[in-house]
Each structure stands twice: as C-alpha cells, then as structure tokens.
A = this chain, B = another copy of it.
Amino acid sequence: MELSGFAKAQFLSVNMAFGFAVTAGAYVCAGVSGAHLNPAVSLSMFLLQKMSGRLMLVYWLAQFLGCFVGASLVFALYFDALHVYGGGNWTVYGPQATAGIFASYPSEHLSVINGLSDQVIATAALMICILAIIDEDNNAAPRGLQPFIIGLIVLLVGLSMGFNCGYPINPARDLAPRIFTGIAGWGLEVFRAGDNWWWVPVLGPMIGGVIGTFIYEMLVGIHHSVEQKNEEDGEEHHPPEYELVQSMA
C-alpha cells in the first residue's frame, strides 16, 4: 500500500515519510503476505525458493494494483493542492511540474546508463540489508520490529542514494503511479520523459535485487551453511539457499 503523499516538502522529510511508509505497510501486511511490498523482493524470495513462481506473479499483480490505488488516493487527497499548484495543468516538466510526485524522473545530469547502475546498486544494497535483518542465523532484528528497521534502511537508501533519481527501487511503486498519471491527465509524456526513462526503475531494481541476493548468499549465507556443516554435520537448516549458491556458482 502506497500511503505516502509527497508534495512540496524538504528532502529529509520526504525520505522519512517514504521510509516509514514502508514500515507502516509492512506492519499491516506482515501477517498475511509476509510484507511483500516490492516485486524485486518477491523475485528474490522466489530465487531463494521461499515462494512459488505462481504465487510471485499473484503478488506482483497485487503490488501493482496496491500502488495504483495508492496513487489515486494521493490524487484525491491533494486534488485541490495539485490543481492550484499546477494552475489547472498537469505537467511533467517546468516549474509547475507535478508528475514527479507520483513517479521518478531522472535529474538533468543523469544518463540512462548511470541511472540503471544507480537502481541496480541501490536495490542490491537494500536487498542485502533486508536479507540480513530477517536472517535468524545472522543478527536478525526482533520480528515485531523488522518493519521499523527495514523502514530505516529505506530511509538510509533515500538519504544516501536518492540524489540521482529519487530512489524508486521498486518497480510497482514507480510504474503503477506512472500509469495512473498517464491516465489521469498528464498524458504519454510520463513515459517519454527523461529519454524514455520509465523502464529504468522497472528493470534496474529487478537486476539489483537478484545481484543483492546473490552477494548476500555468497558473503554471509554461505557461512551459515559451512558452520552448520561443521557443527551439526549434515543437518542443514537452509538447503534452498545453499543449493542456490551452488547452482549459481
């Protein structure tokens, strides 16, 4: 669920709102779906054989629909403000542009290749942290506080890696509101803008999520398997991860 409206605020406030919106969403959904809010995270869990491919597709659809509904709620909540601020126009560019409230657009300095590497690195970092925070064999955060700590990490990613294009790091959170704005009056410019930027925050997080998962399993997860081999000899708690590492090596 995309609850965070985000208009005309300063950098830190917006990042805090984003981070803790993830916290809020995770608390709400944790018991039912395991707090899958991000298609890139769901893809990782599928690769780690923690969910089936079919369930992943269902989650992807739900994530996309949730973000679409969230965007329409933001639209409803700030309808008057958007109307006044934009002078009645819905524009992607210029001083009264409001499309950036819903989806990401690259800074002027950013090339597409650097934008893609930005999204890959940021999502990989996020994924490594999430996997660590929920890893009971590592120093996992207490279960009832994992949404808070993960929200904090999203805040961190925003503060440290949000200068290029506002850290979408989530294909559903970026594409669904973009489509909403395309329908709601901003037009097809939302896809053409930034040298057809729209696909970067969709593909980048997917690649980054997979890379982050791979790095975590190689650098940290593999220790768990080895330790278990040494200490318990043959009784492995995490065969799926271990096999993944094997098959990916």
Contacts and interface: CB of A to CB of B under 8 A. Distances in A.
A76 interface: yes
Contacts of A24: 125, 129, 132, 153, 156
Most interface-central of A21, A30, A132 (chain B CB within 10 A): A132
A96 interface: no
Interface stretch (A5-13, A51-59, A187-195): A5-13
A159 B13 contact: yes
Contacts of A14: 159
A15 interface: yes
A164 B9 contact: no
A77 B117 contact: yes
Interface residues of A, number: 80
A209 B121 CA distance: 32
B28 A132 contact: yes
A128 B3 CA distance: 11
B111 A80 contact: yes
Nearest to A121: B77
Contact of A163 (B5, B220, B224): B5
A109 B84 contact: yes
Contact of A80 (B114, B132, B141): B114
Most interface-central of A144, A145, A152, A155 (chain B CB within 10 A): A144
A135 B30 CA distance: 11
A20 interface: yes
A208 to B, nearest CB: 12
Contacts of A144: 139-142, 145
Interface string A128-170: 1100110101111111111111001101100111011000000
B164 A81 contact: yes
